[in-house]
Structure 1
Amino acid sequence: MAASPDLLFGLRNSFYLGAYQAAISSSDIPNLTANDALERDVIVQRSYIGIGSYKLVINEIDSSAPTALQAVKLLALYLSGSKEAAISSIQEWLSDAALGNNPVLRLIAGIIYMHEQDYNEALKHTNAGGTMELYALNVQIFIKMHRSDYAEKQLKMMQQIDEDHTLTQLANAWLDLAVGGSKIQEAYLIFQDFSEKYQMTGMVLNGKAVCCIHMGHFDEAESLLLEALNKDAKDAETLANLVVCSLHLGKPSTRFLNQLKLLHPDHMLVKRLATAEDNFDRAVQSIA
């Protein structure tokens, strides 16, 4: 018997590549099963989170919603600033035998603990895998832990399940960037392939730009990043990458840096810069 068509393929793909508005706009899909309808709702609410509409998600998902949607609401709460409340709730749910193994709940727990830079805690909930998103998140976590060997094992599992899956390709590109060297060109080709097949998104543009920065092609990186900035003027990674690119090109980076500080004060680049400035001030005082 022929397999039934995957009605959510396009929606998932848009979400994975960061085309959040496209995912929201194309979510009215008829004839979905109850499970597919829930997955669709989860993707739509996570897409709203992707465009920063946290309050909308918090208001739309009530206490009677399924566990998967409740988990998404916790992510919106966390990102809107209610970090302690969100973490407390997620810990409580994860310890509940009936809820704790829900793959969306485990995924959201992994995302929240990754934001907290508590990678060991994140892996407690994601390491068992089970979905392509969980495997892809594991790849990201291991890269952040500078364990590209473990990330590669996760990627191999993804390749065995579906080598052509968008998340497998994305995870491959992330790992190539982490490993560096000759792998950078391979990562660039993956992002180039995405840009030819699908809608050009800020995520894909940033991916290509980071590859260009690694290869020393700063002019090309700058044009890609300015294109990404046109799509979303508030995106943290675009602004951070533009700061780096401008410095390499000998151009002023103050405007991008000030925007990053204002919009994303917790960004790693902002924190590192603040630490460097403090160290410099202390060094100056010590010899004054």
Structure 2
Amino acid sequence: MAAAPDGLFGLRNSFHVGAYQAAITGSQSAPSHALSPDEVVERDALLYRSYIALGSHQLVIDEIGPRAATPLQAVKLLATYLISSGNKSVISKLKELLGDAAVGSNPILRLVAGTVFMHERDYAEALKHTNSGGSMELLALNVQIYLLMNRPDHAEKQLRVMQQLDEDHTLTQLANAWVNLVMGGSKIREAHLIFQDFSEKYPATCMILRGKAQCLMHMGKFEEAEGLLLESLNKDAKDAETLANLIVCSLSLGKPASRYLNQLKLAHPEHMLVKRMSSAGDSFDRACQEMT
């Protein structure tokens, strides 16, 4: 018997490559009557996560009511956490849900928990909830967490699990590109080929443009990278990683980067690059004071 068609395939793919508006629009073409109850919840979770990715946190908070399914409550908690710069009450509520035997194993809840704890840089706690897998998104998040921990060896192991499950999956290809970028050397060209393939298959999203630009920067092709990053900035003037990469790219080209840094500070004051540059500036000021 042929497998039933996956009514959410296109919606998931749009979300994974960063085509968030397309995912929002696509959710309307996946009517509830054509989906199972679990698929309806997944569809709505992808819809609201797309709104979060576009910065519409309050819309998500307002629309998800107290009687919504647990996965949607988790997505609402993610919006609340992101809009309030790390709301600690969100973490308490997440732990409460995770400790509930009836819902604690839900993959969307664990995905949100992993994302929140990753933002908190509590990687051990994040992996506590994501490492048991259960979905390709959880495995991809594990890859990201291990790379942030500077453990590419563990990231590669997670990637191999993904490849065994579905080598052609969009998230497997993305995770492969992330690992290749960190590994460097000849792997950079392999990562570039993945992003190039994506750019031919899908709309040019910020995620795809940034990925290609990062590869080019590793190759020393900063002018080409700058063009892609400016194209990405035109699509989303507040995209954190686009601004961060433009700062690095501009400095490498000997161009002023203060405008991009100021934009990043205003839109994302908690971004790692902002904190690192602020810390470096404070250290420089202290050194100057000690010399006088």
- TM value normalised by structure 2: 0.97
Q: Does 1:15 align with 2:15?
A: yes
State the match for 1:32 in structure 2.
35
- Tell me what 1:216 maps to: 220
Give 1:157's aligned residue: 161
CA positional deviation for 1:188 = 0.7
- Deviation, 1:180, is 1.1
Q: 1:122 Cα deviation (Å)?
A: 0.3
User: Structure 1 runs of 4+ off > 4 angstroms?
Assistant: none
Percent of residue pairs bearing the same amino acid type: 66
Q: CA deviation at 1:6?
A: 1.2
Q: Which residue of 2 aligns with 1:255?
A: 259
Match for residue 182 of structure 2? Answer: 178
2:4 maps to: 4
Residue deviations 1:180-210 (CA, integer Å, cap 9, x gap): 1111111111000000001110001001111
May I ask how many residue pairs the two structures share in their alignment?
288
User: 1:47-82 deviations in whole A, cap 9, x for unaligned?
Assistant: 000101111101111111111101100100100116
Partner residue of 2:78? 75
What is the aligned counterpart of 1:284 among 274, 278, 288?
A: 288
**What is the distance in 2 between the residues matched to 1:262 and 1:50?**
17
The answer to whether structure 1 residue 114 and structure 2 residue 118 are counterparts is yes
Shift of 1:260: 0.7
Root-mean-square deviation (CA), in Å?
A: 0.8
Q: Distance in 2 between matches of 1:159 and 1:102?
A: 23
2:170 maps to 1:166? yes
Measured in 2, the distance between the counterparts of 1:69 and 1:45 equals 8
- One-letter amino acid of the structure 2 residue matched with residue 268 of structure 1: M
Question: In the TM superposition, what is the alpha-carbon distance from 1:141 to its structure 2 partner?
Answer: 0.5
Per the alignment, residue 91 of structure 2 pairs with 87
Q: Mark the runs of 5 or more structure 1 residues left unpaired by the alignment.
A: none
Counterpart for residue 46 of structure 2: 43
- C-alpha separation in 1, matches of 2:35 and 2:101: 29
Task: Select which of 102, 105, 109 maps to 1:105.
Answer: 109
Residue 234 (structure 2) pairs with residue 230 (structure 1): yes
Provide TM-score, normalisation by structure 1. 0.98
In the TM superposition, residue 287 of structure 1 has moved relative to its aligned partner by 0.9
- In the aligned structure 2, how far is the partner of 1:121 from the partner of 1:115? 11
Aligned mates of 1:36, 1:93 — CA distance in 2:
21
Post-superposition Cα deviations, 1:29-50, rounded to whole Å, max 9, x if no partner, equal 2322222111110100100001
Q: Which amino acid aligns with 1:26?
A: G
Find 1:59's aligned residue among 62, 65, 72: 62
What is the alpha-carbon distance in structure 2 between the residues aligned to residue 16 and residue 27 of structure 1? 14
The letter for the 2-side match of 1:166 is: T
Q: Which moved more, 1:23-32 or 1:262-271?
A: 23-32
Partner of residue 241 from structure 1, selected from 235, 239, 245: 245
Structure 2 gap segments, 5+ residues each: none
Q: CA deviation at 1:27?
A: 1.0
Partner of 1:132: 136
CA distance in 2, matches of 1:279, 1:35: 52
- Three-state SS of the structure 2 residue aligned to 1:26 is helix
How far did 1:253 drift? 0.9
Q: AA paired with 1:64?
A: R
